[in-house]
Amino acid sequence: MAQKLIYTNHVAQELDRLVEAIAPSNIVVIVDSNTKSFVLPRMQAESEAIAKASVIEVAPGDANKNLESLSSIWKQMQEAGCNRLSLVINLGGGMVTDMGAFAASTFKRGVKFINVPTTLLAAVDASVGGKTGINYNGLKNEIGVFNEADAVIISSTFFNTLNDQEKLSGYGEMIKHALLSSKEEYESLLKHDVTNIDPDKMLELIKSSVAVKEKIVTEDPREKGLRKALNLGHTVGHAFEELSIERKSPIPHGYAVVFGIVCELILASKKAGFPNAEVTRFASYIKDTYGVFPFTCKEYDRLIALMHHDKKNKNSDEINFSLLEAPGTIVLDCVASDDEIKEAFDLYRELSGE
Ligand SMILES: NC(=O)c1ccc[n+]([C@@H]2O[C@H](COP(=O)([O-])OP(=O)(O)OC[C@H]3O[C@@H](n4cnc5c(N)ncnc54)[C@H](O)[C@@H]3O)[C@@H](O)[C@H]2O)c1
Ligand SMILES: [Zn+2]
């Protein structure tokens, strides 16, 4: 990846150093109303760049990662006198980094931007790798571009105002990275309690987790092959996430991903030789740490329909998965039939004690 990743627990210092080198004509900082109250005051006090930046605030949550919010960002960038030499700083979770990065990438055909992720999920996943965008017409991340930040400043000092659920959600993506990486990394993650890790240890864990994504994205920046491995858990996970939204009780993204991983490991045990005993152990760890996603056999068809809508499936008769033969051994482009997926759902519910 071309983007500079900086791991530090002295964010203001690093940010000011970077901004001095860029020497922008003016700076805007994009926040949502939560990062405005939890993070911005501290950053305004500590960082010269943030103190002099114009603040653009958006409403929080993925539901606001939409055209209306994006348009209000473009408008406020105009009002702040932004030009091609302006700098955008995205200070927030994945919602702010996705949409702020897209706003910066399209304003005047693209201005420089720096991501400062303030959630664990954004630090380990959303803020790195160059995918930017917004949701549109009921579909997630429908409009966007690939464009890497000039720099991403990753710090664990923002996480003490996150609740346990948000920490666990980010940890879900770390578990995914560890499974894609090696048995050692995966075993090591299962031993930690993410709700209670000291900031320096956390920063170290984030660094190895991002390294897994970085390696994959460097090899395949435009998702033509290997990058599809990062979809582990997401084919089923997105369907769980969308079903939970339809039920009007949304589950956090990282929870949907770990429940999705359990189902996809069940499929992997059938189609790619992933050890059965490991599936059982992983399912029980996830149940103890995250709970389970409850559903009945009456909902199988809806879940499968949601998977067919997933834009990553080339052919709508079959569903594509990135599966694992073992932790660290990836098998791309596996195809499963609806019946095989239903069988995996049966087993998931059995393992969940549902
Ligand atoms: N671009 C990618 O590759 C990629 C990858 C994964 C996820 N995403 C996107 O990321 C988004 C999810 O990211 P997220 O979980 O960070 O969501 P988010 O940005 O909505 O943040 C979750 C909640 O935490 C609040 N928050 C943020 N920082 C805080 C802090 N330090 N203290 C207290 N509260 C804080 C937010 O206001 C929000 O209410 C989704 O839009 C998803 O599509 C993108
Ligand atoms: Zn994800």
Tell me the CATH number at 88.
3.40.50.1970
- Same-domain pairing of 193 and 228: yes
79 and 174 assigned to the same domain:
no
CA 94 to ligand 1 center in whole angstroms: 4
Which atom of ligand 1 is nearest the CA belonging to 128? Answer: 3
pLDDT confidence bin for 223, thresholds 50/70/90: confident
Whether residue 202 has its Cβ less than 6 Å from ligand 1 = no
Q: In the predicted model, is pLDDT for residue 311 greater than 60?
A: no
Confidence of residue 222 (pLDDT cuts 50, 70, 90): confident
Same domain for 183 and 156: no
Residue among 43, 57, 95 to mutate when testing ligand 1 (max atoms within 8 A of CB): 95
154 & 174 share domain = no
- Residue 98 in contact with ligand 1 by CB distance below 6 A: yes
Residue corresponding to tokens 């056999």: 297
Distance between Cα 296 and ligand 1 center (Å): 29
- 175 and 148 co-located in one domain: no
Protein residue whose Cα sits closest to atom 4 of ligand 1 = 126
Structural domain of residue 338, as residue ranges? 165-351
**For residue 354, pLDDT beyond 90:** no
Whether residues 180 and 37 share a domain: the answer is no
Computed from CA positions of residues 128, 130, 132, 138, in that sequence, does the dihedral angle turn out positive or negative? negative
**C-alpha distance across the termini of the chain, in Å:** 43
**What is the pTM assigned to this prediction?**
0.94
Question: What atom of ligand 1 comes closest to residue 101's alpha carbon?
Answer: 1
318 CA distance to ligand 1 middle (Å): 31
Report the residue among 9, 29, 119 best suited for mutation to probe ligand 1: largest number of ligand atoms under 8 A from its CB: 119
Establish whether residue 65 lines the binding site of ligand 1, counting it when its CB lies within 6 angstroms of any ligand atom. yes
CA-nearest residue, atom 22 of ligand 1: 93
Q: What does the alpha-carbon distance between residue 92 and residue 153 come to, in Å, rounded to a whole number? A: 12
Instruction: Please check the confidence at residue 298 and state whether its pLDDT lies above 70.
Output: yes
Q: Mark whether 80 and 155 lie in a shared domain.
A: yes
Q: How confident is the model at residue 273 (pLDDT cuts 50, 70, 90)?
A: very high
Residues 102 and 202 in one domain: no
Q: How many domains does the chain have?
A: 2
From 5, 49, 57, 4, select the one nearest 27 (Cα to Cα). Answer: 49
Q: Which of 135, 161, 187 is the last residue of a domain?
A: 161
Q: How confident is the model at residue 207 (pLDDT cuts 50, 70, 90)?
A: very high
CA 104 to ligand 1 centroid distance, Å: 18
Per-residue model confidence (pLDDT) at position 201: 92
Q: What's the gap between Cα 337 and its chain centre? A: 27
Cα–ligand 2 centroid distance for 173 (angstroms): 6
Report the mean per-residue pLDDT for the chain. 94
Specify the pLDDT at position 309: 79
What would the pLDDT profile of 284-296 be if each residue is shown by its tens digit?
A: 999 999 999 999 9
The span from the CA of 319 to the CA of 28, in Å, is 42
Taking CB atoms within 8 Å and a gap of at least 24, the contacts of 133-142 are 133/98, 133/99, 133/102, 134/65, 134/66, 134/67, 134/69, 134/70, 134/98, 134/99, 134/102, 135/62, 135/63, 135/65, 135/66, 136/66, 136/67, 139/311, 140/62, 140/238, 141/98, 142/311
pLDDT for the residue 220: 86
Domain check: are 135 and 175 in the same one? no
Q: Point out the domain boundary residue: 145, 161, 177.
A: 161
pLDDT at 315: 57
The whole-number average pLDDT for the span 311-336 is 83
Q: Which atom of ligand 1 is nearest to the CA of 141?
A: 43
Domain closes at, from 127, 144, 161: 161
Write the single-letter amino acid at 106: T
Q: How far is the CA of 323 from the centre of ligand 2 (A)?
A: 16
| CA dihedral (9, 13, 16, 18) positive or negative | negative
**What distance in angstroms lies between residue 122's CA and the mean position of ligand 1's atoms?**
6
* Cβ of residue 122 lying under 6 Å from some atom of ligand 1: yes
Is 169 in the same domain as 150?
no
Cα 26–93–123 angle (5° rounding)? 100
pLDDT, mean of residues 44-59: 98
pLDDT in tens, 122-174: 999 999 999 999 999 988 899 999 999 999 999 999 999 999 999 999 999 99
